[in-house]
Structures are given as C-alpha cells and as structure tokens.
Chain A
C-alpha cells in the first residue's frame, strides 16, 4: 500500500539530549557499516562547539558514542559525511572546516580547511566523493578536491552572491553544486567542460519566481530532477529540471524552473527542508513545527503540485534548525532544535 495515499502520523521514537547549546545541523552516515559495522549513525553539531555521533544499539535506541570537541573554537554549524561513510566534515563559525577520519573505532582530525574570511555556514560532499564544497558569510563558495593522503586542494573560490551564503548542496548524481543565500537567491554552479573552471550556470531570484527573503536551505530528491528550497519568506519552493541527468554538459543544469510554492504552512522562518528517498518532503521552522509534504496525485494534464501530508505543531520546544531523513530507513526522520535536543521520528501509516 502506498504511503502517499494514506493517513500518517509522526511518532516520536527518541529524544537525544546531551548538547549544551542549540543543535544546528544533522547528518546521517550513508554507509554506517563502514564504521565498525554500525547499523545507524547520526552526527549532530552545535553551538556548544562540539560534534556528537549517535549510534543505534541492539535495542534500536541511539546512544552518544563519540564527542568531537576541542577542535573548533566556535559554533559548529554544519556537518556532512563522505559517501563512503568513513569521513566527516565539520564547518564552523571559527572560519575553518575540519575533516575527521574513522580510524580504529575513533575519529581523528586529519585535515583543516582554511581560507574563508569568516564563519563557514555549510559543508557538503559530492556523491562522487571527489569534491567538497563550503560556503561562508564572506559571500563565497569554495570547492575543494579530495586528494590521496587526506589532502584537500582548493580548486575554486566562487564569487557571485552579494551576501552571506547559507548553504551549499551537491546534486545527488552529478558534480553540480547549488548554493542559497541571504541575498535571497539560489545559484547553480558547474564545471565548464573544456576549461575545468567552475562558474555560475543559473541564478534563481525573485524575478524567476524565487524567494523574497533569505534562503536557508536546499535539498534534492533522490532522482535529482527536483529540488526544494526553504526561506525566511515563510515558503518552500519546488524547482524542476527537465534536463536529462546523464548529461554532463553544463547547459543541462541551467534549466531549473519554478514548479510550485508551498505557503501558509509555517508562521516563521523555515530553516530546513529535506527530501526522503520515497518522495516525502520534511520541513522544520522557527514556529517549532515540522511539516511533511507529498506530491499530489492527480490528473497528468495539470502542473505537478504538492500537498501537506501532516503538520506536527510543537515538535520541539524551540526553533527547528535541521530535518534529515535516514537514507537507510526512509520512514525515519531526525530533527534538531534550538532547545538543544534531537528527536528521532517514525512516519507511520494509520488506518
């Protein structure tokens, strides 16, 4: 039976406590078995300057297995796992990005990426494993190439945003990068086939049916032909590309168009949105609520549209900063909040 047609609820499975300050970001390990055979691993980063790793035990409960501290000197804002699951990148307000490697049951800091002039807001690992990208209040996006021996070379410093860049996210299938900013725009970056130069291939701003205020997050669906952005303008926007994903030339990725705007569901800034492999969009906002959306099944003549599947008011006691679906179990969702906690949820069908 298809989830998308039935009624669902969101069951709180567990509340993870331990961080001493707001939790800003979350990342599920895409290959936890490569870290000592773990069944599920969730990384969380906080204003308390630490990163915590929560591991699922035999009773299906999460326990904090590692605390990475004494490295960053300010808030750790964002974290991301490499596709192989053995490396974790942490981005901090201290203007650095640290790379941690799983070595014999522990995580060691093997590299520190420096260069941004001020706070790093986001870090993302390409699915090819070749690239990392970071972005900062310094208005730039940096692309780093992963080299053997835990070396990271900066291959591009991308200028174009006129303000603070809030988040960067690699496309799930090809090495195309999207950045979102305090300047209200969304930018798509790709490598020029001939010159290996990275440049902006598309800008989506208010004129292109884009956001009217700061864009806080971007996430792709699993097939990479849609993305969702969330904003301070209280909306979520869904974008579609008709390009064939197998195309490697840049023109294929300059064709994102606005598909749908979801408004009226959140009363405050929407800090995060994430797309499950099953196609459910989760959003978390400053109104402490968590929403789930799915594509409206309907007649194929009309433009695709999305409907609210569920709204969980007071999902947390304070702002929700991040929502992330477990890539290994598509009904499991994690949320992180200013209240210092992380919650693990399960989407269940109800009769």
Chain B
C-alpha cells in the first residue's frame, strides 16, 4: 500500500529540501476488520515543528485516501524525539488537527508537501 513516504519540496518555502526529506523505515499497520491504521514515522530532523508538520501531512494524505471508516493513529517512532509524547498527543487530537488545517498558512504547507509534483510515494 503505502511505503517509504518521501516528502520533498523545492519551493521558496523556508524549509530546505534536506530538512523535509523523511527517509524512514515507516511502519504502517492496517487492521481492516477493526478499521484501524497505525503509522509510526521517523522524522530525520530533530526540530519539533517539522515532526508535527510531517505527521500532519501523513494524516491528511491518509484522510483523503482511506475510506472514512478508518481510525488512524500517527506516532513518532519511540526514541527518535525528545518531545515525542507531546507531538503524539497533538497529532492524535482531532480537534487540534482540524483547527490547524483551518489555518491557511499551515494548510498551504501541507498541500505543497502532498502535491503530486513535489512528492513521490513508492
């Protein structure tokens, strides 16, 4: 299904190509019967806000690709981030996610990251 997501962007965006590249051994578990998906991703960059944005991109991509019955949990790989509990809590709070996606600036970043010309999913 989805493996090794790689997010790249080459716009005038403040984040450089290197910062956004997520080379990861992502683990994606799908339980079709329970309609549950769990994604564990490894941000290669320590910077907190990047991990949150990447997690948000993953969530939006899955929201748009999966049937609405699916419940999705997105977590940073344990041990990869100092504030992982705090990032995980935000990424899995749907009210926080919904409000973030109503922020035009943030939405623009997410849309750029997910736009076909900028990203490849292998």
- Tell me, yes or no, whether B96 is within 8 Å of chain A by CB: yes
- Tell me, yes or no, whether A47 is within 8 Å of chain B by CB: yes
Residue-wise, chain B 90-117 has the 8 Å CB interface mask toward A (1 for contact) of 0001111011001000000000000000
Candidates B93, B94, B99, B102; contact of A319 at CB < 8 Å: B94
Query: Are A317 and B102 in touch, CB under 8 angstroms?
Result: no
Query: Are A214 and B89 in touch, CB under 8 angstroms?
Result: yes
- Tell me, yes or no, whether B59 is within 8 Å of chain A by CB: no
In the bound complex, residues from chain A placing their C-beta under 8 Å from that of B98 are 22, 47, 75, 93
Query: Are A268 and B71 in touch, CB under 8 angstroms?
Result: yes
- Tell me, yes or no, whether B122 is within 8 Å of chain A by CB: no
Q: Closest CB-CB distance, B38 to chain A, in whole Å?
A: 13
Query: Are B102 and A75 in touch, CB under 8 angstroms?
Result: yes
- Tell me, yes or no, whether B68 is within 8 Å of chain A by CB: yes
Given contacts A75-B102, A214-B89, contact A121 B95 (CB under 8 A): yes
Residue-wise, chain A 281-300 has the 8 Å CB interface mask toward B (1 for contact) of 00000110000000000000
Q: Closest CB-CB distance, B62 to chain A, in whole Å?
A: 14
In the bound complex, residues from chain A placing their C-beta under 8 Å from that of B102 are 74-75, 93
Query: Are B71 and A164 in touch, CB under 8 angstroms?
Result: no
Provide the main secondary structure of the chain A interface: loop
Candidates B68, B71, B99; contact of A93 at CB < 8 Å: B99
In angstroms, Cα B85 to Cα A232, docked, is 14
Q: Closest CB-CB distance, A168 to chain B, in whole Å?
A: 15
In the bound complex, residues from chain B placing their C-beta under 8 Å from that of A119 are 99
Residue-wise, chain B 35-74 has the 8 Å CB interface mask toward A (1 for contact) of 0000000000000000000000000000000001101000
Candidates A232, A287, A318; contact of B68 at CB < 8 Å: A318
In the bound complex, residues from chain B placing their C-beta under 8 Å from that of A182 are 89, 93, 96
- Please tell me the number of chain B residues within 8 Å of chain A, measured between CB atoms: 11
A309-351 CB contacts (< 8 Å) to partner B: 317-319, 338-339
- Tell me, yes or no, whether A266 is within 8 Å of chain B by CB: no
Size class of the A contact interface (CB-based, 8 Å): 20 to 34
In the bound complex, residues from chain A placing their C-beta under 8 Å from that of B94 are 286, 319, 338
In angstroms, Cα B93 to Cα A232, docked, is 9
- Tell me, yes or no, whether A166 is within 8 Å of chain B by CB: yes
In angstroms, Cα B95 to Cα A90, docked, is 17
- Tell me, yes or no, whether A137 is within 8 Å of chain B by CB: yes
A159-186 CB contacts (< 8 Å) to partner B: 164, 166, 182
> Chain A: which residue is nearest B73 at the CB level?
A268
A129-185 CB contacts (< 8 Å) to partner B: 137, 164, 166, 182
Q: Closest CB-CB distance, B21 to chain A, in whole Å?
A: 31
Query: Are A137 and B68 in touch, CB under 8 angstroms?
Result: no
Query: Are A317 and B68 in touch, CB under 8 angstroms?
Result: yes
In angstroms, Cα B85 to Cα A182, docked, is 13
Query: Are B71 and A286 in touch, CB under 8 angstroms?
Result: yes
> Chain B: which residue is nearest A339 at the CB level?
B68
In angstroms, Cα B52 to Cα A279, docked, is 42
Q: Closest CB-CB distance, A285 to chain B, in whole Å?
A: 11
In angstroms, Cα B102 to Cα A318, docked, is 21
Given contacts A93-B102, A214-B89, contact A317 B69 (CB under 8 A): yes
Q: Closest CB-CB distance, B86 to chain A, in whole Å?
A: 10
* A contacts, CB < 8 Å to B: 22, 47, 74-75, 77, 93, 118-119, 121, 137, 164, 166, 182, 213-214, 232, 268, 286-287, 317-319, 338-339
Interface contacts beyond A75-B99, A286-B94, A287-B71: sample of 6 additional A-B pairs, CB < 8 Å, sorted by A: A47-B98, A75-B98, A118-B99, A137-B96, A137-B99, A318-B69
The 5 A-B pairs of least Cβ separation, nearest first, read A74-B102, A119-B99, A93-B99, A93-B102, A318-B68
